[in-house]
């Protein structure tokens, strides 16, 4: 395991082995600007997994360990607001999922069936814990990250002390699959979407469709967050990887084979806190209550006037 921090003058050397053939200077500059707003320079690690791939891990804070697993088409720094709020009592371990941010590609990808993705999701967090020499940790997750969190708890309950799920979790039924997600599921459309110009207007539209309208329009999702998101999509392989490795959405909607079964969720016997925005367009209060009822030890808290990223709606600078 190699520990390193930002090297503003030599990004290519510092990041050798993470993303090949990409100019990362703009991405790093945007990320430094995002973290510097809070006066934080996270400690970074390259963690080698059993697959031989490496994931990028950023850490801040001290206390009980919590592994943060982000949602679709973002990376670990998307948790910046929450990590800053928790850093005085929590060891925040923010990972870039494989294929996202500055992590290596998905091993043995692309993953295009639920079975392949389940196996991948079950082993990621335990591999991270092994690399950090941790027996167990809590998991904080959102959206796609929730699939990883709950699949870890199903397969390796002894490695998970508790789960905090922010928003709807992939693997649970949606209220309605956004049209853009369904239309983007066929292979030709995935290839086209990766080639489309990325700009702030497109990002705002995409995020509004998944339930972040209030965060966008209120300015809580601010210019620094937008600059980081744009740089991530333009200068890393995140967008392509997330399009390539998709076993969840079809033209008809959710793939039923990717959903958690009742028997699987009964194995999640550690405490689970569901912090669910009541304006989350992926799934609302009804779906949240049904999901909570399927878990042995779940507490549901509806976050009022919050969407798909409730910690962004709640927290203010």
List pLDDT tens digits, range 92-127: 999 999 999 999 999 988 998 999 999 999 999 999
Dihedral of CA atoms 158, 150, 83, 205 in degrees, nearest 10, equals 170
What gap in Å lies between CA 194 and CA 188, rounded to an integer? 10
Selection from 167, 162, 171 nearest residue 301 by Cα: 167
Task: Dig out the tokens for 180 from the structure.
Answer: 């853009």
Q: Could you identify the residue written with the tokens 């990376």?
A: 75
The structure's pTM equals 0.89
Predicted confidence at residue 269, as pLDDT, reads 96
Q: What's the average model confidence in pLDDT over 266-270?
A: 97
Residue 12's pLDDT is: 41
Cis check for the bond before 6: say yes or no (omega within 30 of 0).
no
- Mean pLDDT confidence for 296-310: 95
Other C-beta atoms lying within 10 Å of the C-beta of residue 104 = 22
Q: Give CA–CA dist 145/148, Å, rounded.
A: 5
Closest CA to 16 of 228, 279, 83, 24: 24
* CA–CA gap between residue 275 and residue 94 (Å, rounded): 19
**DSSP state letter for 251:** T
pLDDT at 88 over 90: yes
Helices 114-131 and 144-155 sit at what angle, rounded to 10 degrees? Answer: 80
């Amino acid at each position: 395991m190699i520990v390193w921090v930002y090297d503003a003058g030599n990004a290519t050397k510092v990041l050798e082995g993470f993303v090949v053939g990409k100019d990362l200077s703009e991405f790093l500059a945007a990320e430094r600007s995002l973290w510097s707003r809070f006066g934080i320079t996270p400690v970074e690690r390259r963690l080698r997994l059993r697959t031989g791939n490496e994931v990028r891990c950023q850490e801040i804070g001290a206390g009980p360990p919590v592994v943060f697993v982000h949602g679709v088409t973002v990376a670990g720094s998307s948790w910046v607001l929450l990590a800053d709020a928790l850093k005085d009592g929590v060891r925040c371990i923010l990972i870039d999922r494989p294929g996202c941010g500055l992590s290596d590609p998905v091993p043995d990808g692309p993953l295009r069936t639920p079975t392949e993705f389940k196996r991948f999701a079950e082993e990621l967090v335990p591999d991270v814990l092994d690399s950090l020499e941790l027996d167990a940790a809590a998991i904080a997750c959102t959206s796609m990250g929730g699939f990883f969190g709950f699949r870890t708890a199903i397969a390796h309950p002894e490695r998970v002390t508790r789960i905090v799920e922010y928003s709807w979790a992939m693997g649970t039924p949606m209220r309605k699959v956004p049209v853009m997600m369904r239309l983007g599921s066929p292979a030709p459309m995935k290839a086209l979407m990766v080639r489309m110009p990325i700009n702030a207007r497109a990002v705002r539209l995409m995020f509004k469709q998944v339930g972040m309208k209030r965060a966008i329009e209120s300015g809580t999702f601010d210019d620094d967050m937008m600059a980081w998101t744009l740089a991530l999509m333009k200068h890393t392989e995140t967008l392509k990887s997330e399009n390539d490795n998709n076993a969840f959405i079809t033209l008809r909607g959710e793939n039923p084979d990717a959903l958690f079964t009742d028997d699987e969720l009964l194995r999640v016997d550690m405490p689970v806190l569901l912090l669910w925005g009541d304006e989350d367009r992926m799934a609302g209060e009804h779906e949240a209550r049904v999901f909570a009822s399927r878990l042995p030890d779940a507490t549901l808290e509806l976050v009022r006037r919050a969407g798909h990223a409730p910690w962004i709606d709640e927290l203010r600078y």
